[in-house]
Amino acid sequence: MIIGEMPPPSGAFGVDAIAMTMRFGDFVALDNVELKVRPGSFHALLGENGAGKSTLVKCIMGYYHATEGDILVGGREQAVGNPKDAHALGLGMVYQHFTLVPAMTVAENLVLARDDVPAVVNWSSEMKDLEAFLARMPFKVPLSARVSDISAGERQKCEILKQLYLKRRFLILDEPTSVLTPAEADEVLGMLRDMVVKGELTILMITHKFREVMAFADDVTILRRGKLAGAGRVAELTPDAMARTMIGAEELTVQPPRTGEAGTARLELERVRALDDAGAIAVHNVSLTVRAGEIVGIAGVSGNGQRQLVEVLAGQREAEGGEIRVAGDPYHASREEMRRHKMSLLPEEPLKNACVGGMSVADNIAFREFDRAPFASGGWWLNRGAFRDDAKKKIAQYKIKTRTPDTPISALSGGNVQRAVLARELGGDVEVLIAANPCFGLDFAAVAQIHAEIMAARNRGAAVLLVSEDLDELLELSDRLVVMFHGEFVYEARTSEADLTVVGRHMAGH
């Protein structure tokens, strides 16, 4: 250990976490974990939800103070008391969710993030500096564009650029590609990889995606249940070996084989139009039929009207025109219609779209059925015992990890919130299922379980509309594939016959 020497001001440096233990009360979140990130390397941190990845990086960034253990930055022991200390040492973190101010321009966001923003900003000289800075960077972003107007991929690039602009040379990326298309993800990670190779940067990336680990990372550290499960050179490992280390003895849900043929039309959209929040046309005269026992996948880059279309189907947005029919009847997303047609919805970001964070897991599971027996006696009196009994059954069946059924659902991890929604929406009979990015940001076990449930619902004869930004997911699950671009359906094919390059071209609007 070199004592008394500051980490180099430019260029890459490494970070080691030695014998990290983090206890919350009686619970051990990290148990004697080691992490060695070599200077100038691209390091992947793998693990399931709850394995302790976030706790570990939060200890490194100074959000948590480890109960035991040391942090070495550039080979020198450092006390990182708070995120400011970490920033001063050149450590930066890019979060899964964006931290930019949407109403401000990219340039404003970058300058705003600095610690030393002057009272009066000299924009002409700042812009000159920013342009000079950008010229050295591999990414290009439009400096004077408003953040709300740029794509998710560009926003993620801005987040990374912001860290580089703040002269951070060790970047922690928390699932950076969960909002990006595969092409965007490859582009961003590829450019970061180039900077790592040039020795300008060290990267520690939290991820679930083995493809990205294999393609971009040098080293990998795998955590399981708060313990170090394995570490090594990526070149010496296979995805299978990593998956086994990550999951341990836990069995992944096996997806049932695709069985049965598509039946009659169940969900029909006819020239449906919808506006976005700003009043611009988001969904433009789309028509589609989904038949019983079939999964129709809607592919597209985020922001092409998929969200608004799903919101219309979910009753969260009024359609501007057109007609939606379920089993031949007009459909306006009322409770009675949803119930009659046995409709289920798995929206993206379930905590935001389908749950009440402050209400208990048991309450949230009962949202569809609370006004009927056995949950309600006489149609008005809540029968609390029935809530708890049903929740206990579903918690076990859907493997929801929660302390008690009475825990507020906001205390659960993302995967477990989605499992609770899955239990609610797929717990009974399903005839029509609408799912939007149901696996967004979830771990392996949760993804496998959700995919298996969707396929099982299809096999039982449900009409499934699956909207996803993850093309691999669509190719795996759907029978038919539709591409949405600028609010319209621009391409349709049987998935087995779809040409990936043609699909990609349509997604990009060519």
Partner 1 sequence: MTTEAVDSTEAVGTVAPAADAGFLQRHGGTIEYVLIPGAALAGALVVFGIFVAMFGKNPLDLYFYMYYGAFGTWFSWQNTLTRAAPLILTALCTALPAQLGMVIIGGEGALLIGALSATSAALALQGLPPLIVQIAMVVAGVIGGGLWVMLSGALRQYRGVNETISSLLLVYIALAVLNHLVEGAMRDPASLNKPSTREIGAANMIGTIPGTDVHWGLVFGLIAAIAAYILIYHTVFGFAARVAGGNIRAAKIVGLGVSKLILTICFLAGGAAGLAGMVEVAAVQGRTNANLAAGYGFTGILVAFLARHNPLAIIPVAILLGGISASGGLLQRRLGLPDASVLVLQGIIFVFVLASDALYGRIGFLKGKS
Interface residue with partner 1 among 127, 244, 367, 504 (CB under 8 A) is 367
Within 108-167, the residues that bind partner 1 by CB under 8 A are none
Burial of 27: CB neighbours in 10 Å, binned 0-12, 13-18, 19+: exposed
- Strand locations in 90-218, DSSP E? 91-94, 170-174, 202-207
Distance CA 272, CA 263 (A): 23
| 355 vs 483 by CB, closer to partner 1 | 355
Is 363 among the residues that bind partner 1 (CB under 8 A)?
Answer: yes
Residue 342 sits in the site that holds partner 1 (CB under 8 A):
no
**Nearest distance, CB of residue 225 and partner 1, angstroms:** 6
The span of 7-15, 270-278, 356-364, 465-473 binding partner 1 (CB under 8 A) equals 356-364
Beta carbon nearer to partner 1, 285 or 413 = 413
By C-beta, is 122 or 334 nearer to partner 1? 334
Q: At residue 288, what are phi and psi to the nearest 5 degrees?
A: -160, 145
Question: Does 382 contact partner 1 by CB under 8 A?
Answer: yes
Could you tell me if 112 and 104 are in contact, meaning their C-beta atoms sit under 8 angstroms apart? yes
Q: Rule CB under 8 A: is residue 25 a binding residue for partner 1?
A: yes
Residues in the chain: 510
Residue 370 interacts with partner 1 (CB under 8 A): yes or no: yes
Specify which residues 165 forms β-bridges with.
none
214 binds partner 1 (CB under 8 A): no
CB of residue 350 vs partner 1: minimum separation in angstroms? Answer: 9
Q: Which two tokens stand for residue 426?
A: 């797929």
Asked if residue 422 binds partner 1 (CB under 8 A), the reply is no
Stretch that binds partner 1, among 198-206, 208-216, 298-306, 411-419 (CB under 8 A): 411-419
Binding letters toward partner 1, positions 276-315, x by CB under 8 A: --------------------------------------xx
Question: What is the DSSP secondary structure assignment for residue 201, as one 8-state letter?
Answer: -
For tokens 């080293």, the residue is: 219
**404 Cβ neighbours under 8 A, 6+ residues apart:** 361
CB closer to partner 1, 31 vs 85: 31
Quick one: 115 or 336, whose CB is closer to partner 1? Answer: 336
Number of residues that bind partner 1 (CB under 8 A): 61
Q: Where are the beta strands (DSSP E) in 300-420?
A: 321-326, 329-330, 343-346, 376-377, 381-382
Instruction: Kindly give, in sequence order, each residue whose CB lies less than 8 Å from that of residue 338, ignoring residues fewer than 6 positions away.
Output: 315
Stretch of residues binding partner 1 (CB under 8 A), selected from 135-143, 169-177, 332-340, 471-479 = 332-340
With 0-12 / 13-18 / 19 or more C-beta atoms within 10 angstroms meaning exposed / middle / buried, residue 91 is buried
Residue 368 binding partner 1, by CB under 8 A: yes
Distance, in Å, from the CA atom of 61 to the CA atom of 70, rounded to the nearest integer, reads 13
Non-local (6+) Cβ contacts of 131 within 8 A are 143
**Residue from 355, 439, 464, 484 in contact with partner 1 (CB under 8 A):** 355
Q: Which long-range contacts (CB under 8 A, 24 or more apart) does 334-342 make?
A: 339/368, 341/431, 341/432, 342/428, 342/429, 342/430, 342/431, 342/432
Task: Give min distance, CB of 333 to partner 1, in A.
Answer: 6
- x-or-dash string of contact with partner 1, 236-275, rule CB under 8 A: --------------x-------------------------
> Is 357 a binder of partner 1 (CB under 8 A)?
yes
Three-state SS for 463-482 is EEEEECCCHHHHHHHCCEEE
Part of the chain binding partner 1 (CB under 8 A), chosen from 37-45, 105-113, 150-158, 363-371: 363-371
Contact 467, 283 (CB under 8 A): no
Complex with partner 1: residue 33 or 333, whichever CB lies closer: 333
Gap between the Cα atoms of 162 and 105, Å rounded:
13
Closest CA to 439 of 471, 455, 415: 415
Residues in contact with partner 1, shown as a per-residue x/- string from 33 to 52 under the rule CB under 8 A? ----------------xxxx
Name the amino acid, one letter, at 290: V
Q: Does 179 bind partner 1 (CB under 8 A)?
A: no
Residue 69 main-chain phi, psi, to 5 deg: 110, 165
* Binding region for partner 1 (CB under 8 A) out of 123-131, 160-168, 293-301, 355-363: 355-363
Under DSSP, is residue 409 helix (H, G, I), strand (E, B) or coil?
helix
Residues that bind partner 1 (CB under 8 A): 24-27, 29, 49-52, 54-55, 225-226, 250, 314-316, 333-339, 345, 347, 352-359, 363, 367-368, 370-371, 376, 379-382, 392, 395-405, 407, 411-413, 416
